């Protein structure tokens, strides 16, 4: 995954469980359960799970941005097994 931007709002997230790494511009932060961070959605960013277990993160974006990620598609792309379609618009293999 590559860092991305969406609009110019304030984005905050709170790690509910697990351990994640946030790349924010040229910096990286490792956050664990109970940690939170706030940044501008216009700054290139990405988050990855760097723990040994599932990570749960609560994202809050205010105000909502018109370029916000379609969360249903985002979750599907992150959780589908290899060989399965990545979205409803992509044909399944086999």
Average pLDDT, the chain: 76
Within 10 angstroms of residue 20's Cβ, the number of other Cβ atoms is: 21
Residue 66, pLDDT score: 59
Does residue 87 lie in a domain region? no
- pLDDT category of residue 70 using cuts at 50, 70 and 90: low
Q: What is the CATH number of the domain that holds 67?
A: 2.60.120.10
Does residue 88 lie in a domain region? no
pLDDT digits (tens, 9 = 90+) for 1-49: 788 898 889 999 899 999 999 999 999 999 999 999 999 999 999 999 9
Does residue 1 lie in a domain region? no
Does residue 47 lie in a domain region? yes
Q: How many domains is the chain built from?
A: 1
Residue 8, pLDDT score: 87
Domain that holds residue 58: 10-79
Does residue 56 lie in a domain region? yes
Residue 92, pLDDT score: 40
Does residue 92 lie in a domain region? no
Indicate whether this model's pTM tops 0.85. Answer: no
């Amino acid at each position: 995954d590559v860092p991305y931007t969406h609009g110019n709002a304030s984005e905050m997230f709170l790690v509910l469980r697990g351990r994640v790494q946030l790349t924010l511009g040229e910096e990286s932060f490792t956050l664990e359960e109970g940690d939170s961070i706030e940044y501008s959605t216009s700054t290139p960013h990405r988050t990855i799970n760097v723990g040994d277990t599932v990570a749960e993160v609560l994202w809050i974006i205010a105000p909502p941005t018109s370029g916000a990620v379609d969360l249903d598609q985002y979750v599907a792309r992150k959780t589908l097994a290899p060989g399965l379609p990545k979205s409803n618009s992509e044909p399944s293999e086999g």
